[in-house]
Chain A
Amino acid sequence: MKYLNKNTLLIALLFSGFACTDLEEDLNDSLTERQDVNNPGFGASTNVNGSIPNDGLTPAFSTIRNGVAWHGSYFSVSEISTDEAVITQKGGDWFDGGIWLNMHRHDFRSTNPGLNGAWGDIYGGVAQCNNLLGEGGLSDNAVAQLRVLRAYYFWKLMDMFGNIKLTVTAGVDVPQSTRTEAFNFIEAEILAVVDDLGEGRADYGRISQGAAYALLARLYLNAEVYTGTARWQDAIDAADMVINSGNYDLDYTYQEGPDGRMVSAVFSPDNVDNIEHILVAPFDEATGGGMNLAQMTLHYPSQLTYDLQEQPWNGYSTLEEFYNSYDDADMRKDANFIAGPQTDINGNPILDVAFDKADPDGAPINYTPAINELAPNGSRQAGARLGKFSFKLGQINDMDNDYTLLRYGDVLLMKAEALCRRDGNWANAEAISLVNMIRDRAGLDGYTTMTEDTFFAERGREMFQESIRRTDLIRFRRWGNEWWEKDSYAFDYNDYRAIMPIPLDQINASAAGIQLEQNPGYN
């Protein structure tokens, strides 16, 4: 006991003072639970966007923008796999492992990051719908909107990937469903809640019955592709619900953009709550980011034409054949494309000092619709650029244009097509009159008669850059056709290329839950 003197006691006291074992983690800078917003709606008053309702649904609805107008996701896959857009390899630029060349040539790979981007972006939206639905306490209308939004996401997934997981409960993994099961689920979801939706125009950025019926029309129009069973009359009925509602109309307005083009008000930076809109991704430079189409399509020095804040990438352009499918009198030709010599904001030519020696235009930039080749040395200045969602001066990387997901013009064309297909007659008079509404708005004479080819061409011209060309090419059985540098192959609805491969990253990550199986025909 001789060690037990006062010093020992002092030290023992000191040690007992240390004996803290509390490991509570008090986070200073991260939230772990959803909160009420103190000042809901602050954003709506300070931006050029419309007024988005304070209905608590924003966590889900804000995901509607994800990937629909951004590189490397749904937009890229929907456009580059078709005959309306391409990313050429420009020497050392834009080869990128051949992913966009493969996509354009229909050599679809499960490693393509665009597919993974689309899958992740859309399922991220599904998760947010499930989070809100799981929390409960919502009005019938709110529940209906969320279920239709989720059904819309599932439609995109089912349309692109076929065999998807129908996850409807937050945190609960489920096995993959077949395409037909997914179709039936989507249809049942919409029909179950459509009566709980508002009958008039939806609140800005939200869903009313118009969107639900327009989505149903799109679902039924493609039913034969999805399930093998055509549903033409159902498509017509659903389209009629939209048309007869009186909530929507065609907008004939064309206005001058900063580059001197006459652009359509339906797609312009100030297109908030346009009369033609049924469902949009409400982009806004301040409170709704995620649209950088200017960066994706313009050549580097075009930064000076629009005084862009970020340098463009010189990526996307349209195919010459597609550009030439527009009549010169077609107002949409000028509105949809940026072509010809380019100038800065003072009207001086803009130069590419790294111009190709073979380019007859030399350094001054001239977007020629003709493109010399897809790869490996596509000319830097070749190709008309994508300009339907037009640009504004001094634009930042987040554009202001609302992206049209469902719109009145599309519904008119869907009904026209369903009528023709139901009757097996492309010269159906009602259909022609519907199509002529669209042609009239474009400043063109109406068709007096119509064929499958002329209808398809008109639909292509009208729906350019709206991410629906892929679905249309498949439905018209033209997915396997030859165009420009893409070879033809025999195609029917059962061809494995009618759906994309499940992204490899997702299959890998699914090992932690219920394993995803790759679609047939892909490895």
Chain B
Amino acid sequence: MKKYLLLGLSLILGASLWAQERTITGTVTDAETGESVPGANVVVKGTTNGTITDFDGKYQISVGSDAVLVFTFVGYSPSEVEVGNRSVVNVGLNLDVEELAEVVVVGYGSQQKKEITSSVVALDEKEFNKGNINDPTQLLQGKVPGLSVYNKGGDPNSTSTIRLRGISTVGANTEPLVVIDGVIGASLQNVDPNDIESINVLKDGSAAAIYGSRGSSGVILVTTKKGKRGGGVTANYNGYVAAATILNEQPVMSASEYLAAGGNDLGAQTDWQDEVTRTGVSNVHNIAISGGAENTTFRLSTNFRDINGILDKSGFDQINARANISHYALNDKLKINFNMSLTNRKSNYSFNEALRYAALYNPTAPVRFDNGEFFQAVLFDNFNPKAILEQNINDGKKKELNFNIMAEYNITDALSFTVNYGQQYDNTLNGEFYPSTSFFRGLNRTGLARRYTEDGRFSLVEGYGTYSAKFSSVDMTVSAGYSYQENFREGLLLELGNFPTDDLGYYGIDLSGNRVLGLASNVNVDSWATPDEKIIAFFGRANFTIDDAIFLNASVRREGSTKLGVDNQWGIFPALGAGVDLNKYLALTGVDILKLRVGYGVTGSLPPASGYSKQGVGYGFNEGGAFSVTRDANPDLKWEEKTEINLGVDFGLMSKLTGSVDVYTRNVSDFLQLFTPEASGGGNTTPYWNNIGSLTTNGAEISLNYDAVTTPDLTWTTGVVASSYKSTLDDFIVDIPTVVGNLGAPGQNSTFMIRVAEGEDIGQIWGPVYDYVDENGAPVMKDLNGDGEIVADQGSALAENGDFEVLGNGLPALELGWTNQVTYKNWDFNAFFRGAFGHSLVNTYRAFYEPIDPGAINSYNRIKSDKAVDGLTVSQFSSLYVERADFFKLDNVTVGYNFDMSNSSAFKSIRLYANIQNAFVITNYSGIDPEPVLQDRGALDNGARFDPANQNVLAPGIDRRYNYFTARTFTFGVNIGF
């Protein structure tokens, strides 16, 4: 086929043929084995003149003078030879080990890396982030272009916000689908970072479409470590101790500064932030034993984590155990995998609110009165932070168990069937207690106790068959399968107050006086359950490789969900991809690989809750109790659908530089959001899930990897990933612009800071522009439209004559990661820098507490910053508090030393290392942490609780007052192989 192709090309560009002068012959061999290499490409560099070697590796080609021949073959590094005046040119090709070995796990199977036509990034263990990492997503932070992982502050008990290629959905699940060892929707919290071998990220729609309705936000495939066949038994120990210290405190006034600024003197001097924080010392130990006999392999590991955060009392103890066992039978035709993992975590959530009140509490207030009781002032949103931590309890336990059995049967070499059955269970049991002496949440309840438990079960049954065939130069693989997923969750909440004693904590909840006094509002009980949420799917895929250089992939998934309207339950999610290894035809000198690929795919998203296609009926205790219809049915509820086109280039140059460039456009239509209907529209008024708009994200990503130094003693590999995207709201049910993201109390309710409008970018921070301070200490805003009238009150944010403008964007324009790995003899050194640029944050601490407000300074300490305006006494949102938050940081840096164990019988290897996370941060942002805030949790004041279901992705960029303080962590560790 290629000959014809080349002939065709030659005829079209025939001029070069006529320039030939003489004939060269030769043999292409494997440099290591000396065996001939048939089918290798031989091309005259810079021309389209080429041929391929015959069955014996021989070739013949006509060349002009000064010709350079380029020899390439799949799996080998290219070789260039100057012909000179020789007539015979024999070449030995070296195996390109890396390229051959790279088999990449994709949905329901694996492909050779070169065959992949979509945007897939594979990371193995040595590329992961280093340090005290407890959340597997942190391993990837900054490493995958287009994958944003942010855990602001780094509370050890919170998980990161993850986004792939920006906003993929508004109201549905924004986090990528996680698949662990083939189990869809598995929990990342049940995998210890020590047990992960590799993580693959399917970024674009053509790769993710095989996962259908759950693939819209991307797919993260995790492969855990396994034993090796016939490898004998090995044991490894990894352990470290880490110390977390505060990187940044809120810059607030000291007691003397506070008094000088006019604060009321309460007689003491207290550094509240110091009172509630500490150096958090953590210990982590991992022991793994793996091995393999002829037909069975296993790996058993146990992980122990004792993690302590910088907020006093915050942290967790965790034990995780994992067993991966594989067995081969029937002459290796049958392979059975069994994976099981158990995590048992006991957390002390502590109270992040204490950090906020520590920043704001009067610095002249004593921690305690002389009689030993905690000092308290009865003021709004104002609690002694030390008392919050010392008096109250907020802890919990979480257990997760999952297992799966996967059987793969090869009927012939060409045909195989795979069956996978998995289950995952989780159980949470939390407790909170606020004694009668606590002002925070407990005041005048005579104690308050809360118990919450939640239980979940997820089951998966999947089966698929794969058939492979080869027709002349076409390799074909076809798969088809069935998937059944069932999810069920239930929970119980109990909150009661009024206790005869505080001594029993939340275990004394049965002594609650509210049981006899019986006010519905004092007896908070909720027992809830989801239905059996089912997803059923049929899927198929076909891969064709033509001429070992042209790759075609197609897949389709037909999937149904219980959550949608009866006529809209089933959807079809197709994908198409094509790629071509151009260099096979161009044979450019110094080019190892040059692959062009294009992918198109459709994925979906489901509403997060069930039952919304049906009418909702509520029960009220009011006046003797009654059922009433509260929510209208939405039988039209359907998939949110994402269509994505991805265009990519993979290249390798001179065996030193490799890289990829991807550009994409993704269109999300019928996006889901909780919609509040018009009250006067004749129907009921409770919000319901509805498909209400569409958005487009365009982006580009690049990753480069360069082997800068490759001497035996010294190696240096450096890599850069960068990504950029922009999301636009194309269509919204509300035709005219709206504003969202309320600043909140005290005093700045109805202050909406983010603009949402059709045809505009998502994440625009919107507000008046500060001009000067007037004689009353109030800010005067700029007359932006020049009409001689300043209309800058928040009620006019969208008025025609309003003086408002875009003050920044909450989403970064550029995200960057820069990896460096150096080895020198027995030393290894790793430095990873990370940055984000172009995003702004509303510094809400400053917006509330920076002006020297004579009324408020007595309630709240003042924030100091170089951006403060002298004489300003009135807190009012404006451009003053919107800050560019570009940053560049040394995210983590490691130095390790490998001891020479060649003479030791006891140990195979010993490595010692030291690591610093958040070594330094360069930023102009005056708040604690310049990392972007991708979604808004709303203003939470006066002890209000965070509702995870209530996050707005259309309102990024608001740095709220409840974030954990950022830590700088020092880690010392050892890896031992036995």
Contact = CB atoms under 8 A, between A and B. Distances in A.
B282 interface: no
Identify the interface centre among B617, B622, B749, B800: most chain A CB within 10 Å of its CB.
B622
Contact of A513 (B534, B681, B777): B681
B776 A376 contact: yes
A201 to B, nearest CB: 17
A69 to B, nearest CB: 14
Interface in A488-523: 505-506, 508-514, 516, 523
Contact of A59 (B562, B626, B860): B626
A189 interface: no
Interface in B681-701: 681-685
B101 interface: no
Contacts of A112: 750, 795
A41 B623 CA distance: 7
Interface in A11-54: 11, 14-15, 18-35, 37, 39-44, 46, 49, 52, 54
B57 interface: no
Contacts of B490: 28
A40 B677 contact: no
B531 A25 contact: yes
B794 interface: yes
Nearest to A122: B679
Contact of A300 (B266, B378, B569): B378
A396 B519 contact: yes
B134 interface: no
Contacts of B797: 111
B379 interface: yes
Interface size class of B (residues with CB under 8 A): 35 or more
Interface in B447-468: 461, 463, 465
A313 interface: yes
Main secondary structure of the interface of A (DSSP, over half): loop
A79 to B, nearest CB: 17
B615 A33 contact: yes
A511 B734 contact: yes
B474 interface: no
Contacts of A52: 623-624
Interface string B843-862: 00000110101111011100
B682 A509 contact: no
B266 A353 contact: yes
A300 B380 contact: yes
B734 A509 contact: yes
Contacts of A131: 628-629, 684
Given A27-B531, A311-B378, A356-B855, A398 B521 contact: yes
Interface in B595-622: 610-611, 613-622
Given A43-B625, A509-B681, A7 B409 contact: yes
Contact of A94 (B563, B625, B747): B747
A123 B676 CA distance: 13
A41 to B, nearest CB: 4
B417 interface: yes
A279 B748 CA distance: 36
A174 B678 CA distance: 12
A98 to B, nearest CB: 4
Nearest to B752: A97
Contacts of B36: none
B685 A102 contact: no
Interface stretch (A231-239, A282-290, A438-446, A471-479): A282-290
Contacts of A289: 520-521, 622
B852 to A, nearest CB: 10
Given A91-B874, A128-B628, A510 B621 contact: no
Given A97-B795, A354-B379, A516 B617 contact: no
B680 interface: yes
Contacts of A65: 622
Interface stretch (A209-217, A251-259, A301-309): A301-309
A106 interface: no
A120 interface: yes
Contact of A93 (B377, B415, B520, B746): B746
B875 A167 contact: no
A436 interface: no
B750 A113 contact: yes
A396 B684 CA distance: 29
A128 B627 CA distance: 11
A40 B47 CA distance: 91
Given A34-B628, A505-B676, A27 B614 contact: yes
Given A23-B536, A314-B380, A61 B681 contact: no
Contacts of B377: 353-354
B795 A96 contact: no
Contacts of A15: 463, 482
Interface in A324-365: 350, 352-358
A309 B876 CA distance: 31
Given A31-B617, A90-B855, A95-B748, A167 B628 contact: no
B750 A97 contact: yes
Given A95-B747, A96-B747, A396-B519, A58 B680 contact: no
A465 interface: no
A377 interface: yes
A165 interface: yes
B855 A380 contact: yes
A92 interface: yes
B264 A354 contact: yes
Nearest to B560: A23
Contacts of A24: 562
B617 A512 contact: no
B620 A513 contact: no
B463 A61 contact: no
B626 A62 contact: yes
B903 to A, nearest CB: 52
A406 to B, nearest CB: 18
Contacts of A421: none
A509 B675 CA distance: 9
A397 interface: yes
A298 to B, nearest CB: 11
A109 interface: yes
B799 A523 contact: yes
A8 interface: yes
B626 A286 contact: no
B747 A40 contact: no
Contacts of A35: 617, 627
B734 A508 contact: yes
B218 to A, nearest CB: 25
A37 B378 contact: no
A124 interface: yes
A260 interface: no
A510 B680 contact: yes
B679 A124 contact: yes
B463 A97 contact: no
Contacts of A356: 854-855, 858
A37 B624 CA distance: 9
Interface string A443-482: 0000000000000000000000000000000000000000
Given A93-B856, A119-B679, 10 more contacts: A5-B411, A19-B482, A40-B625, A99-B750, A111-B795, A174-B682, A287-B520, A376-B874, A512-B681, A512-B733
7 contacts: A90-B855, A92-B849, A99-B795, A112-B795, A353-B858, A509-B734, A512-B733
Interface of B: 262, 264, 266, 362, 377-380, 382, 409, 411-412, 415, 417, 419, 443-445, 461, 463, 465, 482, 484, 490, 518-522, 527-532, 534, 536, 560-563, 569, 610-611, 613-629, 632-633, 675-685, 733-736, 738, 745-752, 776-778, 793-800, 848-849, 851, 853-856, 858-860, 873-876, 942
Interface of A: 3, 5, 7-8, 11, 14-15, 18-35, 37, 39-44, 46, 49, 52, 54, 56, 58-62, 65, 89-99, 102, 109, 111-113, 119-120, 122-124, 126-128, 130-131, 164-165, 167, 169-174, 205, 282, 284-289, 300-301, 303-304, 307-311, 313-314, 350, 352-358, 376-377, 380, 394, 396-398, 505-506, 508-514, 516, 523
